[in-house]
Structure 1
């Protein structure tokens, strides 16, 4: 969600998202798909806590020698799950806090 709010897109077809449909870990594998589809393009995965959901995708990046770049933002939460806890459960946390 950080990327859609703050990144300045310059051309169409630069943004690939799960559109908040609960697909935690979507970013890395979407970046892999984008890199395979457009090997000449710079592909950057801007990710947060959900990165740990599919970290095994790093193996595909290495095996296929894909030039995927990753920016991991540490907000110390599983962000989308925490957002739902705020909206529907009065901010009652169920292990979504990844900090101290």
Structure 2
């Protein structure tokens, strides 16, 4: 699927309120996972090597890179960020959907 086709498809799907809510909730997790994967690759590290550096298992790094963050401690994300030359920033923002 070309980028333009995907963009159109996504825009169409986002008109569904349930899909839009799920997308809004999951997008930051996926973005964080992609950021970690790209930074790891720039440092020429495998998932196994990164896991060793931060005291985790390879499957945990894979889960994080896939956006599966529900049970990931902030301390682990912080260690990953440090090893990759990044800084972890956590912030809360107002939810535009809540009055």
Q: TM-score, normalised by structure 2?
A: 0.30
Higher strand share: 1
TM-score (norm 1): 0.30
Higher share of residues assigned helix: 2
